Each structure stands twice: as C-alpha cells, then as structure tokens.
C-alpha cells in the first residue's frame, strides 16, 4: 500500500517522527498508524518518549523531523483542521477548578468550534457518556480525583473527535474509579480511535486491541497483544517433578537454555529456538525416575514480555 493511500485510510498516520532537544533525541524515527474503532496501548517505561510522542501527535510540540496526518489532513501544513479531529487528555488534565462542570464543558465545545445550536446537546452527550449527569452544577474543584478525570475525558470527546489520545488516564485513581474509566475507554473505542498511554500493564490487556512498546525513544514492538504473548510463550514450558534433580542437571538437558524455579517442585524451562527437546525431557524424566507430573507451555503475562523487551 502506498504511503498516501495508507495515510487516508487511517485516522492517525505518522512516519519518521523524531524530536531532539539539543543533542538529545527524545524520540527517534517513530511510525504509528491507527484505524477507526481501534484502541492502541502505547507502552514504555518512564522516560521512554511516550509523552513527547503524544505531544507531537496532538500538535502541541513540533517534530524535528517526520510527518503526521489526522484523517488524511496534514497536521503540520493544516494544524487547525487536523486538531479539530483530535481529543486530548494530557497527563495533568487542564481543568478550571473554579468553574462548574457545565461551564467548563461549554467552554470546551466553544474552543472546539462546535456550532452554537449543537453546543448544549454536545455537553449533555459528553456528560452522559462520562457519568457526569448528576454533577453538572458542581464546581470542578469540589469533585473527587475520579470525577475530575471523567471531566477531563468529557472535554476530550465533547466535540466528537475521530481520534482520542489519553495520557495516563487512570493514574492516582482508586480500583473502582479505574474500572469505570476502563469501561468508558472500551466504549470510546467503538466510535473513535483511541491511543492509551500507560505503564499499567493489566490496563492494556483489559482494554487494547494492539500495543506499541517504546524504549529509549524508539518503538521496540508493534502488534496485537495476542501475538505478543504467543511469540514469548512458545519457547517456555513449566515442568513439574515429584523427585527433581539439581537445577544444574535440568539446565544441562539438550535444547534447554535456562531454568528457573516456578513454585514447589515446578521449573520454568526456556527452550532453544532451533530445536524441540520435549520428547528428550520426557524420556530423561522416566529414565531417571524424576516423577514427571506436569509439562505444559508457560503462560506469559504482558508484564514478562514488557520486561524482556525493555530490559
């Protein structure tokens, strides 16, 4: 597919995004593509370059190099038209604590140039989607952190943008608030494209369709979550033995590259990529009377994979 046709099919299309601060490259040649209805988990350890990338995607920071288009509109050449298609929740939501929820959301839809006849309806719809119907007349400063976060998301979606970009939307919330916000983000993924930046891995597993992992300013992985786990689970097995030998003896088995304890008389064996030693492991267990009682592929969590990719 050509770059142009790919760019017009996607709600976000970015190529070669680079941002330097003096001699330091905070983001290096990042590519990112997102289609309607997708929720993309944007992961990375602190300092990986996630926030800088999101600031470039939203037009808040100019890239040193690279191109960005939003629904086929060049963000650098036509910033006003492109930004109208974006809703953005920064890590610290831009809330005016002295305004009521209704006043603030009305201001937000005005700033997003929603036509006057549609403003009231746009505010009502955003409040309903974000569970804010009962707090419209309350001052934002009097609301809990969870409700303030909902107000932040409401301002990001009030103008019905094609793309919603959320930077750490559940940081500092209690477990119930986190569950509510996650449900809301999943619902947003139906009508919008969503980029969710976070380092909370269960959040990504619960919400996202795809994941991109950033490390030291570069993308080190980009695919579905299922593919990510599959890649890393295939070469690891859990072995259970009633009468286990010394770990060194297990590590010496042909085709086994690493051994770690996975529980009482349970061992996680990493297998070489170029051979399948399972039959030999079974044969040796029987021969040595180790009492083999469990042998299965290890379930890899997203956390394991993340650590491996960003170590």
CATH number at residue 291: 3.30.70
CATH number at residue 62: 3.40.50.300
Asked if 106 contacts 122 with a C-beta cutoff of 8 angstroms, the reply is no
Task: Tell me the C-alpha to C-alpha distance, in Å, between residue 254 and each of 174, 180, 235, 239, 284.
Answer: 49, 50, 14, 15, 11
**What is the mean predicted confidence (pLDDT) over 172-177?**
83
* CA atoms of 211 and 201, how far apart (whole Å): 10
Check whether residue 86 and residue 170 sit in a common domain. yes
**What is the mean predicted confidence (pLDDT) over 114-134?**
95
**Is pLDDT larger for residue 100 or for residue 205?**
100
pLDDT tier, 299 (very low <50, low <70, confident <90, very high otherwise)? low
Q: What's the mean per-residue pLDDT of the chain? A: 89
Q: How many separate domains does the chain show?
A: 2
pLDDT tier, 9 (very low <50, low <70, confident <90, very high otherwise)? low
Check whether residue 20 and residue 75 sit in a common domain. yes
Check whether residue 146 and residue 31 sit in a common domain. yes
Residue 73, pLDDT > 80, answer: yes
Residue 5, pLDDT > 60, answer: no
Check whether residue 110 and residue 244 sit in a common domain. no
Check whether residue 218 and residue 262 sit in a common domain. no
Asked if 162 contacts 193 with a C-beta cutoff of 8 angstroms, the reply is yes
Output the pLDDT for position 55. 94
The domain boundary residue, chosen from 229, 253, 281: 229
The domain boundary residue, chosen from 229, 248, 271: 229
CA angle in degrees (0–180, nearest 5) for 172-174-178: 90
pLDDT digits 0-9 by tens, 247-294: 999 999 988 988 988 889 999 898 887 778 899 999 999 999 999 999
Residues in the chain: 311
The domain boundary residue, chosen from 229, 263, 295: 229
**What is the mean predicted confidence (pLDDT) over 79-98?**
93
* CA atoms of 283 and 288, how far apart (whole Å): 9
Check whether residue 29 and residue 132 sit in a common domain. yes
Output the pLDDT for position 233. 58
Check whether residue 211 and residue 287 sit in a common domain. no
pLDDT digits 0-9 by tens, 14-50: 999 999 999 999 999 999 999 988 999 999 888 899 9
Check whether residue 218 and residue 250 sit in a common domain. no
pLDDT tier, 229 (very low <50, low <70, confident <90, very high otherwise)? low
pLDDT tier, 231 (very low <50, low <70, confident <90, very high otherwise)? low
Q: Which residue segment(s) compose the domain that 93 sits in?
A: 3-229
Check whether residue 27 and residue 143 sit in a common domain. yes
Mark residue 279 as left, alpha or beta (left: phi above 0; alpha: psi -120 to 50; beta: remaining): alpha
Check whether residue 35 and residue 67 sit in a common domain. yes
Check whether residue 136 and residue 172 sit in a common domain. yes
């Amino acid at each position: 597919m050509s770059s142009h046709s790919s760019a017009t099919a996607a709600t976000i299309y970015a190529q070669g995004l680079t941002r330097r601060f003096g001699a330091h490259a905070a983001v290096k040649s990042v590519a990112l593509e997102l289609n309607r209805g997708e929720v993309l988990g944007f992961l990375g350890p602190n300092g990986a370059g996630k926030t800088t990338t999101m600031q470039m995607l939203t037009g808040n920071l100019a890239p040193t190099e690279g191109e960005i288009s939003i629904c086929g509109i060049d963000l650098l050449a036509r910033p006003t038209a492109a930004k109208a298609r974006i809703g953005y929740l920064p890590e610290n939501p831009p809330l005016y604590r002295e305004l009521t929820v209704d006043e603030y959301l009305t201001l937000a839809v005005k700033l997003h140039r929603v036509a006057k006849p549609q403003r009231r309806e746009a505010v009502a719809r955003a409040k309903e989607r974000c569970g804010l119907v009962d707090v419209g007349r309350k001052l934002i400063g009097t609301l809990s952190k969870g409700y303030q976060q909902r107000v932040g998301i409401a301002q990001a979606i009030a103008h019905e943008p094609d793309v919603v970009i959320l930077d750490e939307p559940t940081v500092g919330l209690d477990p119930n608030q986190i569950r509510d916000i996650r449900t809301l983000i999943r619902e947003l993924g139906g009508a919008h494209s969503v980029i969710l930046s976070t380092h909370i891995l269960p959040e990504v597993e619960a919400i996202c369709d795809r994941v991109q992992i950033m490390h030291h300013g570069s993308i080190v992985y980009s695919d579905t979550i299922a593919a990510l786990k599959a890649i890393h689970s295939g070469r690891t097995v859990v072995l259970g033995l009633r009468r286990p030998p010394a770990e060194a003896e297990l590590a010496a088995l042909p085709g086994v590259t690493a051994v770690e304890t996975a529980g009482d008389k349970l061992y996680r064996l990493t297998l070489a990529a170029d051979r399948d030693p399972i039959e030999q492991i079974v044969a040796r267990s029987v021969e040595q009377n180790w009492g083999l009682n469990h042998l299965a592929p290890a379930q890899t969590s997203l956390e394991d994979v993340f650590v491996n990719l960003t170590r």
